[in-house]
Every structure is written in C-alpha cells, then in structure tokens.
C-alpha cells in the first residue's frame, strides 16, 4: 500500500502501466531500470506502479522488459 495525502492506494489503483502477470517472470528489469524509482515489487512479487506522479513516461520499462509484459496506456491527455 502507498499513502498519498493521507489516502492509501493499493497495487492496482491509479496506474497507466499494465503488467501482464501471465507474461511477467518477476525478473525485476523494469524495477531496476526505472530512472525515477516508480516501479516496485508488490506483495505477490509482481511489479506495480508505486509513485505515479514521479513517472516521466520515458517508456524504459516497456522497452527493457524481456517478455513484453508491460503496456503503457491511459496516458494523461497532455502527454499523448
């Protein structure tokens, strides 16, 4: 759980990165390569977007994932 302004958010709340758990092998490349330390491992060992507001939309996580298990979607309209 993350806490932002006193509100707790879970691993599935407010994220534009979708992690395909069938493809993900929990290798941690996305966690290691994220320049802003946005992606962390969740309680079940799968990555999730922990600090959404710190994301630069650099797409490194989707590019570096060896299993193509990450999809960036639902970007804020200013980024598209």
Instruction: Give pLDDT tens digits for 9-50.
Output: 555 656 788 999 999 999 999 999 999 999 999 888 999 988
Inter-residue contact 50 to 34 (CB < 8 Å): no
SS3 assignment, position 48: strand
Q: pLDDT band at residue 75, thresholds of 50, 70 and 90?
A: confident
What sign does the dihedral 13-15-20-25 (CA atoms) show? negative
Q: What is the pLDDT of residue 43?
A: 85
- Report DSSP state, residue 52: G
């Amino acid at each position: 759980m993350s806490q932002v302004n006193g509100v707790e958010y879970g691993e599935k709340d407010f994220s534009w990165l979708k992690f395909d758990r069938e493809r993900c092998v929990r290798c941690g490349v996305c966690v290691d390569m994220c320049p802003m330390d946005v992606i962390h491992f969740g309680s079940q060992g799968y990555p999730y977007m922990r600090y959404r507001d710190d994301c630069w939309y650099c797409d490194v996580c989707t590019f570096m994932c060896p299993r193509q298990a990450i999809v960036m979607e639902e970007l804020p309209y200013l980024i598209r």
